[in-house]
Amino acid sequence: MSARVIRLHRSSGTEPITLGDEALVAACGVGDLAALGALYDRHHEAVARFVARLSSRGSGEVDDLVHDTFLAAHSAAPRFRGASTVKTWLLGIASNVVRHSLRSRGRRLALADAITRLTQEPVAPPDATLQANELRSAVAEAIASLPHDLRVVFVLCDLEELSGAEVAAAVGIPEGSVYRRRHEARRALRERLGSVR
């Protein structure tokens, strides 16, 4: 099934110009918003179906994800090399947009849950609450006492829950170094917090 072709008219009013998907991506790469609109017209239904299957969300959120996909495609257009069809390229971008959206949504929900738990009235006896606060304070101080390189890796891996590969890319070190620093950070924290219990 071939993609629908859009016909653009030359300003002189002579013969129409027919652009294929690859040409439209190239035009997007130099900032042509009309070309982006043409790509959207051709592929938004396929992208919307794909996003809906990946995300299991309502149509409003699917529309937002489709919109974000085409904005990301506009930014990525200069790097398109034609290794796949334009439709496949767009679906790959959509996959990343959905993944990032789900991840950030999960973080937002976890943060909201943590805030809710922190703001609820304590049901524990005052001495247990005091002990919990002291432990929380000791953990925060222990993390703050870590050398910067170990603290960064520990926070990204264990608190922000990024993968080793993501942390390596973010910090600019080999993935093996991430795991070594994480191990050293955990060992230092165990040693420091062992006396707190």
The predicted pLDDT at position 70 comes to 93
Secondary element (H or E) of residue 104: helix 86-119
Residue 95 or 171, more confident: 95
The predicted pLDDT at position 74 comes to 92
The predicted pLDDT at position 196 comes to 55
Which domains, from first to last, does the chain contain?
Answer: 6-108 (1.10.1740.10), 124-194 (1.10.10.10)
pLDDT digits (tens, 9 = 90+) for 14-65: 444 578 889 999 998 898 888 999 999 999 998 888 888 777 666 678 888 9
pLDDT digits (tens, 9 = 90+) for 81-139: 888 889 888 988 888 888 888 777 666 666 666 666 666 655 556 676 777 778 788 88
**In the numeric block, which tokens belong to residue 89?**
């390229």
The predicted pLDDT at position 77 comes to 92
- pLDDT greater than 50 at residue 6: no
The predicted pLDDT at position 184 comes to 92
The predicted pLDDT at position 43 comes to 92
Q: Give the DSSP letter string of 126-156.
A: HHHHHHHHHHHHHHHHHHHHS-HHHHHHHII
Q: Which of 94, 112, 83, 119 has the alpha carbon at shortest distance from 39?
A: 94
pLDDT digits (tens, 9 = 90+) for 142-162: 887 888 888 888 877 887 777
The predicted pLDDT at position 121 comes to 57
